[in-house]
Amino acid sequence: MSNIKETLYRELELKIITGVEGINFDPHIFKHLDLGGRFQEDIHFCMEFAHETHVGIKFPVGFYSPHGLINYLKWDRRSSYSFIYESGTYYLAHHGEVLYPVEFLERPNYYNLKTSDGTSMPTIASYLQEGAVVVAYSNECALKEKDHDCKFCNINATKATYGEIEGIGWKYPKQVGETVGAAYRDGARHVTITGGFVAERREVEYYLDVADAIKEHTGLEDFNGTACVGAPHDLSIIDKYKEAGYRTIATNIEIWDRNIFKAICPGKELQCGGWEHWVKALEYEVEVFGRGKVRSNIVAGLEPKDSTLEGVEYLASKGVICFATSWNPNPGSALEGHRSPEPAWHFDLYKKIAAIHRKYGFTYDEIYDCNAAPIGVINDIYRIEDELLPVFEGQLV
């Protein structure tokens, strides 16, 4: 088992590297792939995560490493990592030297379906693997109206770039209910509802309507849903999400250093109560939902590592599972063209965060339930250490 774990950690390190540096390829390489048929295509459900825009060009959403880790695909023509196609097989290569063969992720069945009003279901809810779907109900953020966007975020730029060609728009509760119902019949078991900032009253009413629609179309009172919301000015509103049937809740603080928070997240500082209010909201969410049922996220690389770890530790001590996802200098964001820390910096941070979560007794099921994308690095570390991957049972992809 130790040899398997060592191999998996090497593959995880490579996953982090290609996540930070991207992968270089000619988009025409995928002409050999049944993309949008057998294999799942990338759909812009919220933000652009490739390092450059690609209107009208479709990519696979991700691929497996040889021992079963799932990698999301980020395109960057400057990367020393690349895809090669030879004799019917795709390979990941570094400086032109093959590292391993690549198997792309298969498309879920519900991606072939439409809602009762004729809307393509994959434009309503994106499949994030391992049974998780996400609904980005609003693909724009109202903070832009006063030029208060978070500096790392490109949600508004993504809507402007892809909205018309990909049909990105507001998702209605009935559409969401029908799509999540179809996804659950297809094997999904967790859904996250998220989006850009909207008026507080409109937000809570929408989430309540969506919860009712999901329960109607899945037949489940507990549909294992995460409500990803901003910190409401009136904290008692948080109770309503619990009453509506969401199992977990997420409020992303983004930055732990309160002074950097002010600079990077001006809207959250000026329009949403500021850093202290966001922390109070997370603590109150634990009172309502319970320990291990609340999630937050820090954008890793925008502040010193010690600051991020201080935030993760503090929130863990209060019962909040806080992730730190590698900062991607998204195209269209105010920080486009900047650089994320080197991959080794991120790998060290991830290992320390996983150690904090284990120190406070958070289980893999709790990590899974409150996370929108259950194939993140923290999830991978848990699955390696707890031997939860198929490879530990002698199964390969």
Beta strands 89-94; 97-104: pairing state? antiparallel
Per-residue pLDDT tens over the stretch 309-336: 999 999 999 999 999 999 999 899 999 9
Instruction: Supply the CATH number for residue 178's domain.
Output: 3.20.20.70
- The Cα-based distances of 278 to 200, 231, 237, 370 in angstroms read 14, 6, 14, 18
Q: What average pLDDT does range 201-215 have in this prediction?
A: 93
pLDDT at 344: 98
Claim to verify: residue 28 and residue 169 sit in the same structural domain: no
pLDDT-above-70 percentage for the chain: 98
Claim to verify: residue 160 and residue 91 sit in the same structural domain: no
Claim to verify: residue 329 and residue 234 sit in the same structural domain: yes
pLDDT at 52: 87
Domain that holds residue 61: 2-104
- Chosen domain end from 80, 104, 128: 104
Claim to verify: residue 210 and residue 337 sit in the same structural domain: yes
Q: Which residues of 151-190 are buried (b: 16+ CB within 10 A; e: fewer)?
A: bbbbbbbbbebbeeebebeebbbbbbbbbbbbbbebebbb
pLDDT at 395: 61
Claim to verify: residue 59 and residue 141 sit in the same structural domain: no
Angle at 177 between CA 175 and CA 183, to 5 degrees: 100
Beta strands 70-72; 81-86: pairing state? unpaired
Q: Whole-prediction pTM value?
A: 0.95
pLDDT-above-90 percentage for the chain: 84
As a whole number of Å, the end-to-end CA separation of the chain is 18
- Chosen domain end from 57, 87, 104: 104
- Chosen domain end from 54, 71, 104: 104
How many domains does one find in the chain?
2
